[in-house]
Structure 1
Amino acid sequence: MAMSCRYAARSCARQLRATPSAQTMCVAVSSRRWNSTEAAATNPKINTIVDQISQLTLLETADLVSTLKTKLNIPDLPVGGFAAAPAAAPVEEAEEAAPAAQEKHLFTVKLQGFETASKAKVIKEVKSLLGLSLVDSKKFVESAPKMMKENVTKEDAEKMIATMKELGATVVME
């Protein structure tokens, strides 16, 4: 029994022309249709939260987002929209913190800088290593120093460092 907006408007216009009491019926139909989308959020607790959030400034909203991320343990995603670290990263951090004397097996590779003459080559290599788009990899390289990968094995980290140094980039393993 759903009718299109155009059909409802035409029928209301016809009824308005026919009788003056039909105006109240058209208003009732349109208000019912308008209220049907509003009826989806009937929880008063959610309505108050939405009202409070809608009154925040941009800076307050950014603070709210960062606070929710830390409280709910939501990781920040890199620009490419993919997770650089595996899902079990918090467990590994806890394991690494407990035995400090134990030898480190996973490393972080960080891009410190690059030679301006080899900027294009470095961007292409970052694109292939991280799986970013060309624009994202250009932004990534230009914002150096920046972390490239986390939780990388020593062998993989050394390979990445060697290839990046050949291209003229300064990369460190932490």
Structure 2
Amino acid sequence: MPEKFESLVEEISEMSVTDLAELVEILEDKFGVSAQAPVAVPAAAPAGGEEQGGEEEQKGSYDIELSEVGENKIDVIKIVRDIAEMGLKDAKAMVDDAPKVVLDDVDREQAEEIKEKFEEAGASVNLK
């Protein structure tokens, strides 16, 4: 990595997920680009009970619900502290009260990233 980028990369790596999402949004606006990967157009939804899935994909924002903590409770608490920007005591209480909504009104891309972090720590998350 070039030296001129080392301090910038270090500063970015210390940001919370919320701050990173805001930074990406600012950069997208400033340069007129999108950081989202191209998405294939989904096929028409089949008739029957699967119509709900189509509605869910069109949602603009999601609530992130921690449904099960798993075996790595400490890692899950760390993630909650980071994404919800709260203290250790509040994050632990939230994890202990699972199932619990951890974050409200999160855009799809950010919700998927957060869900992936929780799943890597062994927790189960629902996007509502």
Shorter-chain TM band: 0.5 to 0.7
Equivalent position amino acid for 2:64 in 1: V
2:60 alignment counterpart? 105
Residue pairs, 1:83-122, within 5 angstroms:
103-115=58-70, 117-122=71-76
1:160 alignment counterpart? 114
Equivalent position amino acid for 1:119 in 2: K
Equivalent position amino acid for 1:166 in 2: E
User: SS state of the match for residue 64, structure 2?
Assistant: strand
Equivalent position amino acid for 1:121 in 2: D
Residue pairs, 1:116-155, within 5 angstroms:
117-155=71-109
Task: Using structure 1 for the length normalisation, give the TM-score.
Answer: 0.40
Aligned length: 74
Counterpart CA distance in 2 for 1:138 and 1:172 is 19
Unmatched 5+ residue regions in structure 2?
1-54
Coordinate RMSD, CA, aligned: 1.9
Larger radius of gyration: 1
1:3 alignment counterpart? none
Counterpart CA distance in 2 for 1:138 and 1:103 is 33
Equivalent position amino acid for 1:112 in 2: S
User: What is the CA deviation profile of residues 41-95 of structure 1, one whole-angstrom value per residue up to 9, with x for unaligned ones?
Assistant: xxxxxxxxxxxxxxxxxxxxxxxxxxxxxxxxxxxxxxxxxxxxxxxxxxxxxxx
Counterpart CA distance in 2 for 1:145 and 1:129 is 17
Counterpart CA distance in 1 for 2:74 and 2:96 is 11
Equivalent position amino acid for 1:158 in 2: E
Q: Give the CA deviation at 1:103.
A: 2.5
User: SS state of the match for residue 107, structure 1?
Assistant: strand
Identity of aligned residues (%): 30
2:41 alignment counterpart? none
Q: Which runs of 4+ in 1 moved over 2 A?
A: none
User: SS state of the match for residue 150, structure 1?
Assistant: strand
Equivalent position amino acid for 1:173 in 2: L
Residue pairs, 1:1-174, within 5 angstroms:
103-115=58-70, 117-174=71-128
Counterpart CA distance in 1 for 2:83 and 2:127 is 15
Equivalent position amino acid for 1:107 in 2: Y
Equivalent position amino acid for 1:144 in 2: A
1:74 alignment counterpart? none
2:46 alignment counterpart? none
